[in-house]
Structure 1
């Protein structure tokens, strides 16, 4: 990881920090992280891809670490997040790239594939599936489904509330997320807080050392959780702004990976079933004994699947 270089770009009205590794003449591969993570989430994939001859580009997404963290909620809508990466690709002169995304990074990657059908030649997404534009904003559906019980996405909606809880002890917050993914599936009253009733975190899992966690902690120490949480506050705006994408399919060859213990698989069960209709060239793998942090929990298997998929004609 020490042989990567860091570049700060002025794109789309912000500064975007991008880590770059691999041979300069290598085919470009972009790795987009999710919540609550950072570029270091790809620490196992960067050296493997670089060693295979790819030029790897790993941004700190808008709101994270040294990248800009605008105050306005609307500054984090989906098309704006996509435009950050589109303009960064323009900056580097990329005409053909592979796009890889996990969690919220997968959401951005899916939509970049729709927006850039010629430039993005292959797509690899992890944890968050795609089944086209919903008939109405997802947040409306969630408010109906979770009217009388807790849901973390609904909890994230009120500006300032979740930030206060998560920022109070950033290392404890991140330890809980990395150690216990069931924190997102808790059964409790609708007016509860995310970490209410959650025990003191125990030892870190084997795939996340203290040194690794320190990188995550530093990322959120910079701006706190406000910017990343603002990604969750644009469901209605995203739905309104993506009307022109309604009915479009993702036509690129696509690899989708998810862990068999990933809480997102519970939330998105219906989307998973519908995904093949929206992604004609789809290859899917469910990784056993694996939760949400898939590229670290099962790094060897993820890397093998990535390199096999990228190495095909």
Structure 2
């Protein structure tokens, strides 16, 4: 497992999402380290500089939580605050759910915790969003892999700067816009760095996370209706397309699943890439939350 690290003090793990890497957190290292924390951001399983097992089944939520547990131990720590963005959110929430004794606090960006559904996840996805939803498109091994691996720079440019719709009937990149000018928070050097990092493993490992959605539903049956008990924080972007995946009152419902929810930060005008678009506000929110854990 490849990790980036800075600072000394209580451990804060930063877990990236799709299609990202440790690099998504590049603006958060200095402020969190300055605030007195040991900040560690891994490339998660299948991403960047971390190993990418060939078997799809090796990317289940239990494997991903197991990686976090092993990382905490490998770093010589007994506990951590676990922060996740996008797919890193479910990993963070499930680490807090399955191993609460290791989690001093948990924060999710973009993706909230959710109740385990009554039917397999992909059945629900098809029912609510239709057969052209991007998560359905990702299920066929090799298909989205070939599309996204064909031109890594173009893939990152379109996905990170031109994400427009979750519908991918003719391919995932068809749901994005071609952009001539990058947004202020993203540079050509950033695109180049993401492409360089994905040059090692490509997109297959990251896409295999999606190919375990029904397996994750089956594996987590023992935790049906269980609560996430560690102190928690949720950060969302006002313009994040992911918000449309959940009921309009999903924020109001969070305390039913996370009883020690200590804050919700709603960033107006912020899209999906929260740690990169609004790093100063994310750092402030996290530092404020972290301070409550020591009281």
Question: What is the TM-score when the length of structure 2 is the normalising length?
Answer: 0.94
* SS in structure 1 of the partner of residue 64 of structure 2: helix
Give the 4+ runs in structure 1 shifted more than 6 A.
none
Instruction: Return 197-206 or 137-146, whichever deviates more.
Output: 197-206
Instruction: Return 136-145 or 231-240, whichever deviates more.
Output: 136-145
Compute the displacement of 1:43 (Å): 0.7
1:29 pairs with one of 3, 6, 12: 12
- Residue 5 of structure 2 corresponds to 20
- 1:242 to 2:220 alignment: yes
- 1:165 to 2:147 alignment: yes
Compute the displacement of 1:151 (Å): 0.8
Q: Is the 8 A contact 1:257 1:285 kept in 2?
A: yes
- Residue 76 of structure 1 corresponds to 59
CA distance in 1, matches of 2:2, 2:282: 25
CA distance in 2, matches of 1:194, 1:223: 19
1:42 pairs with one of 25, 28, 52: 25
**CA 1:285–1:56 in structure 2 vs 1: closer, same or farther (change >3 Å)?**
same
Instruction: Return 261-270 or 98-107, whichever deviates more.
Output: 261-270
Compute the displacement of 1:95 (Å): 1.3
Q: Is the 8 A contact 1:20 1:57 kept in 2?
A: yes
Instruction: Return 86-95 or 99-108, whichever deviates more.
Output: 86-95
- 1:298 to 2:278 alignment: yes
2:157 pairs with one of 175, 189, 197: 175
**CA 1:197–1:80 in structure 2 vs 1: closer, same or farther (change >3 Å)?**
closer
1:65 pairs with one of 26, 36, 48: 48
- Residue 4 of structure 1 corresponds to none
Q: Is the 8 A contact 2:164 2:177 kept in 1?
A: no
1:89 pairs with one of 72, 96, 110: 72
Compute the displacement of 1:199 (Å): 4.4
* SS in structure 1 of the partner of residue 211 of structure 2: helix
* SS in structure 2 of the partner of residue 228 of structure 1: helix
- Residue 6 of structure 1 corresponds to none
Instruction: Return 165-174 or 200-209, whichever deviates more.
Output: 200-209
Cα RMSD (Å): 1.6
- Taking the TM superposition and a 5 Å limit, the aligned residue runs for 1:68-217 are 68-147=51-130, 150-184=132-166, 186=167, 191-196=169-174, 198-217=176-195
Q: Is the 8 A contact 1:132 1:249 kept in 2?
A: no
Instruction: Return 79-88 or 267-276, whichever deviates more.
Output: 267-276
**CA 1:146–1:268 in structure 2 vs 1: closer, same or farther (change >3 Å)?**
closer
Question: What is the TM-score when the length of structure 1 is the normalising length?
Answer: 0.89
Compute the displacement of 1:198 (Å): 4.7
- Residue 7 of structure 1 corresponds to none
* SS in structure 1 of the partner of residue 233 of structure 2: strand
Compute the displacement of 1:103 (Å): 0.5
User: How many residue pairs align between the two structures?
Assistant: 291
Compute the displacement of 1:107 (Å): 0.5
- Residue 263 of structure 1 corresponds to 241
CA distance in 1, matches of 2:127, 2:285: 38
Once the two structures are superposed, residues 92-116 of structure 1 have per-residue CA deviations (whole angstroms, 9 ceiling, x without a partner) of: 2211211100000010000000112
CA distance in 2, matches of 1:302, 1:36: 19
1:275 pairs with one of 235, 249, 254: 254
Compute the displacement of 1:69 (Å): 0.7
For structure 1, the residue ranges without an aligned partner over 5 or more in a row are: 1-15
* SS in structure 2 of the partner of residue 196 of structure 1: helix
**CA 1:145–1:311 in structure 2 vs 1: closer, same or farther (change >3 Å)?**
closer
